[in-house]
Structure 1
Amino acid sequence: MAHKVDEHVGKRIRQRRWLVGMTQQKLAEMVGIKFQQIQKYETGANRVSASRLWDIGEAMGVNVSFFFEGLDGDVGSKPSGRFVPGDLLEDKEAMDLVRSYYAIPKNQRRRLFELARVLSDVA
């Protein structure tokens, strides 16, 4: 059975890879391993060594600490009385939305954010 930390790190690798629109094959090529190894990391089946995690972080433009963020967080909590799915970043639709959001120019993105905030306040 995979360790909780290994599963969390693997999920964060997958989330970041999705967010930047990178395939397992591309990430594997960038760090010099087979894509099957990336699959094993992402499921938590195999542990990621410190040096490999460093290489993965560099390939995807994040610090190693990114992969541990939220490890002790209360996933599934309900801030401000609103429902937030327990693992929002596991939802493909949510990840596609985030990726699309960051593809929008910054000034337009801010206006879209304000619109979404107003719409959610009305709901």
Structure 2
Amino acid sequence: MTNIDVLIGARIKGRRIALKISQTKLAEAVGVRFQQVQKYESGANRVSASRLLMVAETLGVPISYFFQGLDNAGSADSTDVQPSARATAPMNALSDARVSEILALVETLPKEQQMAVLAFLRTLAKTTESEPV
């Protein structure tokens, strides 16, 4: 399992949840069993290119959707090479299913509402920073 496998799995899970599609329904649509979808989503099994294309079509996203957040794919692909802190931060955040679900849900909103959510999160982050620890 590599960071990229975990990232792709988290993106699949987040989008699937945002669309309210069960693992069983996704599995049927792409020709695998739901256990395989579980393994894809956890990053335990790598998704082949052809299967990832089928997943993308089923979830209504371009295949590039699953690679968003990767800015240093070369070093992140290897478990032996340590990615830079800058490359690790987005991947760690995106491998969290909650963050992936938030991103998938925000993507379904109209642009104006996306900007409102962003403004809210910025305000929330500033409020959190100013509170004493």
Compute the TM-score of the two structures, normalised by the length of structure 1: 0.66
Identity of aligned residues (%): 36
Give runs of aligned pairs for residues 112-123 of structure 1, distance below 5 A.
113=117, 116=120, 120=124, 123=127
**Structure 1 partner of 2:46:** 47
The match for 1:30 is 29
Aligned length: 112
TM-score (norm 2): 0.62
Gaps of 5+ in 1: 78-85
| CA root-mean-square deviation | 3.3
Gap regions ≥5 residues in structure 2: 73-85, 128-133
Pick 1 or 2: higher relative contact order, CA cutoff 8 A, min separation 6.
2
- Are 2:93 and 1:90 aligned? no
Change (3 A) 1:20 1:45: same
- 1:116 maps to amino acid: F
Offset of 1:109 from its aligned partner? 3.4
| 1:31/1:6 CA distance change after superposition, 3 Å | same
**Whole-Å separation in 1 of the counterparts to 2:12 and 2:64:** 12
CA–CA distance in structure 2, aligned partners of residues 114 and 67 of structure 1: 21
